Structure 1
Amino acid sequence: MIKEGGAVVVTNIHDIARLSGCSVSTVSRVINHQKYVADDKRAKIEAIMQQLDYVPNRVARDLSNGQTKTIGVVLPYANHPYFARVIDGIVGAGFSAGYKITLLPTNYDMTIERHYLEQLRGKAYDALIFTSRSSSLDTLERYRKYGQIVCCEDPGDERQLAAAFTDRMASYVYALKWAQTQGYQTMGVVLSRNNVISASTRVTRRAYQEVYGKLTDTNLFTGAVTYDDGYQAGAYFAKAEHPVDAIFSNGDDIGAGIHQYFVDQHQPPIPVIGQENLLSSRLLHFSTIDHHLEALGQAAFRLAIGTSRTHELIKSDFIKR
């Protein structure tokens, strides 16, 4: 308790206990709306709290319980439908469970990722969900002792990390083999980045290699995150010296941008295979892969509030159009 200009200012639960003549544990039960407090004592404590406008320090209380009720979601950027839909699943599940969800953008900067891991070490979050990463799995494993860490990729059975992920490899191979049956012998590929650390990049390259052989630079466009990027990808493939028969895109809205470029140039739209089954692919009627990303986000949240190292696979569906 401190005094400012003759006025009494209550600073913590111990001050409430002294003013009420009750024990700290009794005051705590009143603050947390628990039972086993006599009505007269509860009324006296509540009256003192109201009179002095006392507000419990929720952060300190949560930390004393060993929890912040906050989950950090590490993501490169939020303006891509993949991450937006995963976040929708996490936020929906988190809200229902009474958790706060904090978005932690990185732009794939390893230094920023390390900063968030250090915050986990400092108990700023109960857990971190990595929707994508630049840091190594070894690094994530080292920080797991400070809180739960969940990866949205398959880290392998030997890793001591919880994971929720989609069966991208199987779905990509299936989609590309279907494209071959449609007569598309030369397939272009659009990615957000050409970096082997990216799980989606690695899997896309492996799937392409299995079906079509080596992915050459001439058949690859990188840096596509938005519709406008897709439009630029359309321009790239339209002007390529060796045209492709179809394009495997890393998102439906990006595929829509590719489609629109050809329309604007009064050229026949090139066949596109997209991802995420968004409205754009339905309206333009091109095939897509639905990875059920809201379900992925929900699974990642469930793992984040637990302590297990479970790996949960979310099945994908290829939608032919």
Structure 2
Amino acid sequence: MTNIHDIARLSGYSVSTVSRVINHQKYVADDKRAKVEAIMRELDYVPNRLARDLSKGQTKTIGVVLPYANHPYFARVIDGIMSAGFAAGYKITLLPTNYDMTVERRYLDQLRGKAYDALIFTSRSSSLDTLERYRKYGQIVCCEDPGDDRELAAAFTDRMASYVHAMQWAKKHGYETMGVVLSRNNVISASTRVTRRAYEQVYGPLTDDHLFTGAVNYDDGYHAGQYFANLKPTVDVIFANGDDIGAGVEQYFDHHGLPAIPVIGQENLLSSRLLNFSTIDHHLEALGQAAFRLATGKTRTHELIKSDFIIR
């Protein structure tokens, strides 16, 4: 198989000159560049990009670990990562897990094998201790607050403050009982932990009958609406884990001729604007951009992205 030394021998130029041509660098005379490129075409030579990247100590590839992509939260974070990555000349690889810890460990082992320069965990099942152990193989960024004592970079929103604000607003306006919709009821889930903490601070313990889990899209929200509509006694307001999910809740009540139930959603999507219900905007594109910046560095910096509660 043809290699860079063959190109140098046939062209009569040094390996360093051929390398500059391959890497499109300056300081190569036009006639030399033309001759080297002609030999490369003649031999159908294709540079081994992986070997070249590894020789430089980087792959220019960032892995984004996410449970699934069909939830607006992850889609918007990815939009921010992708826009920042494209502008910086990086490749972004999506690494779905469905919250399978074994799959997450496989991606961490790939980081150790230099398949990626860094991993961004938009959500996780693995412990923070596990992520911290792998940090020596490459940068790891969490999209949650890991705490100041962790050797992990992090970009995250002020979920606790925004959730408490929204729930306090609801209670102040006479909504004495609140139903909650979540994607999963798991102590490892940062969003679940924060939602529960905020609820307990404002409403007290979150009982099982006031909680619907397994919601990641509009249809799931529709089923959540059915659940709360049949709950006796029903709740006064519903806190949903996404606008599209909240839209599903609201539409169930509407389609079945039931009195409208107030909904608080998240992410300020078109669905909440069209149906005119309140929402929390976590500015997830900005979160994704911050996560990418941290992924291309080596610090354990923590960046807080402020959220806004939008009352409608």
Return the match for 2:187 from 180, 190, 196: 196
Cα shift at 1:161: 0.3
Q: Which residue of 1 aligns with 2:12?
A: 21
Identity percentage of aligned residues: 84
The answer to whether structure 1 residue 127 and structure 2 residue 118 are counterparts is yes
Q: CA deviation at 1:272?
A: 0.3
The correspondence for 1:223, drawn from 214, 217, 242, is 214
285, 297, 302: which one aligns with 1:311 = 302
Q: Is this contact kept in 1: 2:2–2:43, CA < 8 A?
A: no
2:157 aligned with 1:162: no
Q: Aligned AA for 1:287?
A: S
Question: Per-residue displacement from partner, 1:114-172 (whole Å, max 9, x unpaired)?
Answer: 00000000001010000000000000000001000000000000000000000000000
The TM-score, its normalising length taken from structure 2, stands at 0.98
Deviations 1:208-250 (CA, angstroms, capped at 9, x unpaired): 0000000000100000001000000001001012210000000
Quote the Cα distance in structure 2 between the aligned partners of 1:290 and 1:263: 25
Select the residue among 173, 178, 193 that pairs with 1:182. Answer: 173
> Which of 227, 233, 236 matches 2:224?
233
Alpha-carbon separation, structure 1, partners of 2:218 and 2:29: 63
Q: Which range moved further: 63-72 or 41-50?
A: 41-50
Ranges in structure 1 where 5+ consecutive residues have no aligned partner: 1-9
1:34, distance to aligned residue in structure 2 (A): 1.8
The residue that corresponds to 1:52 in the other structure is 43
Mapped to 2, the partners of 1:81 and 1:40 lie a distance apart of 53
- Partners of 2:156 and 2:303 within 8 A in 1: yes
- Give the Cα–Cα distance (whole angstroms) in 1 for the partners of residues 132 and 169 of structure 2: 38
Give the aligned partner of residue 320 of structure 1. 311
Bigger Rg over Cα: 1
Q: Where in structure 2 are the equivalents of 1:1-321 lying within 5 Å?
A: 10-321=1-312
* Separation in 1, partners of 2:85, 2:289: 8
Distance 2:165 2:262 in 1: 16
Q: Distance in 2 between matches of 1:246 and 1:37?
A: 69
Spell out, residue by residue over 1:38-78, the C-alpha distance to the aligned partner (whole angstroms, 9 max, x if none): 44433321221122221211111111111111100000000
**In 2, Cα distance between the equivalents of 1:219 and 1:150?**
33
- Indicate the SS of the match to 2:145: coil
Structure 2 residue runs without a partner (length 5+):
none
Q: Which amino acid aligns with 2:286?
A: A
| Offset of residue 20 of structure 1 | 1.4
Q: Which residue of 2 aligns with 1:3?
A: none
- The alignment covers a number of residue pairs equal to 312
2:77 and 2:288 in contact (8 A); partners too: yes
Q: TM-score, normalised by structure 1?
A: 0.96
Deviating beyond 4 angstroms after TM superposition, the runs of 4 or more aligned structure 1 residues are: none
